[in-house]
A = this chain, B = another copy of it.
Amino acid sequence: MSKTIEFSADDIPRTHPQLPRTLYWEGGADGQLALLDQTRLPAEVVTLPCRDAATVWEAIKMLRVRGAPAIGVAAAYGLCLGTREHCDAPRDQFLTAVDEVADYLNGARPTAVNLAWALRRVTAVAKETEGDGPVLWARMLSEAHAIAREDAERCRQIGEHGAALIPEGGRVLTHCNAGALATVAYGTALSPMYIAHEQGRRFSVFADETRPLLQGARLTAFELAASGIDVTVLCDGVGASLMQAREIDLVVVGADRIAANGDTANKIGTYSLAVAARHHGIPFYVAAPSSTFDLSVANGGQIPIEQRSDDEVRRGFGTETVAGTARCLNPAFDVTPAALITGIITEIGLLEPVTAERISGFFGSGG
């Protein structure tokens, strides 16, 4: 148990000294989860202390923490927080509590794959460990730390593989937030920018505001600016005209899911940028951990596209901006075909060109 207690937030690499951490464990076995409340950004930088599962559940539900990797880590810590008070119970009762709290947290955002995955992983180590509550619990916290540390390391590796793509004086366009705020540190699409910045390279980032939820304006601009990286926010639809004016050198975006042939689902608006980048001969990169590949899906046509509530379009501006009888269409994602993607930056390396054969070989499997 001593190793767990000695774990400190400093064991996790930090994106930039000036950038508040997305989430971290504060203290030892009697510690708490500290979450940056992303709903209050960029106006206020508020860290939410979580000492029980209900606070973590609410934070996930209300998008105070968002981004698949960050949600997974928050849930892993939430499971530790929710079971701490049961440590003195007999082993069976403790494990029952683990299952109950995991079920509870899993309901905060049922479709978030990383949420279920992280909860399963922490639950599994508890069940595999011999001993009573305190021993199991310490192992769970240690596993949560491991999930956090691995996420940060994986993101940093993406950045190290991608940084060379950003030239001195380069102008990079990105969409939505696939940044440090979506992960424990560094992010995916933004990680190459952080590493290039560490290496002393000067460059500019253009961030689409990303309607309807404005993750580009609210989050990407916040984290890059806080880290001292030059960033300019654009309304969606401006990017193509910057490409026309030769003011964009490359596009880097994240991914929600990548099919076996490289077709990539990402935040709505990504495909429009990919088409414009191809029209102007500008490289278009996707940055994502290898866990984003879903080799069970042959191509993008098989990726279901979530339709979100009209309200995000209709009432996104504090007041009703769409006439009542007009309809709204609010797809959450679009799919960019592999043929429009120059390369995919993963923690293993740069995958280029993006073809089913190359992806299959990359993962050393039959695909």
Q: Does A9 contact B (CB under 8 A)?
A: no
Render A335-353 as a binary contact track against B, CB cut-off 8 A, 1 for contact.
1000000000000000000
Q: How far is the CA of A244 from the CA of B305 in the complex (A)?
A: 13
Q: How far is the CA of A231 from the CA of B323 in the complex (A)?
A: 10
Distance between A173 CB and nearest chain B CB, rounded to angstroms: 11
Number of copies: 2
User: B321 to A206, Cβ gap below 8 A?
Assistant: no
Q: How far is the CA of A320 from the CA of B331 in the complex (A)?
A: 25
Q: Does A68 contact B (CB under 8 A)?
A: no
Residues A323 and B222 in contact in the complex (CB < 8 Å), given A235-B313, A268-B238? yes
Which B residues touch A233, using CB under 8 A? 313-314, 322, 326-329
| Chain A 212-229 interface residues, beta-carbon cutoff 8 Å to B | 212, 214, 217-218, 221-222, 224-226
Closest to A326 in B: B221
Which B residues touch A361, using CB under 8 A? none
User: A221 to B323, Cβ gap below 8 A?
Assistant: yes
Interface residue SS majority, chain A: mixed
- From B224, B236, B319, B326, contact of A231 by CB (8 A): B326
Residues A313 and B272 in contact in the complex (CB < 8 Å), given A241-B334, A327-B231, A327-B232? no
| Chain A 241-282 interface residues, beta-carbon cutoff 8 Å to B | 241-242, 244, 268-269, 271-273, 275-276, 278-279
Q: Does A143 contact B (CB under 8 A)?
A: no
| Chain A 278-329 interface residues, beta-carbon cutoff 8 Å to B | 278-279, 313-314, 316-329
A-B complex: 5 closest residue pairs judged by Cβ atoms: A237-B269, A318-B318, A221-B326, A240-B272, A42-B323
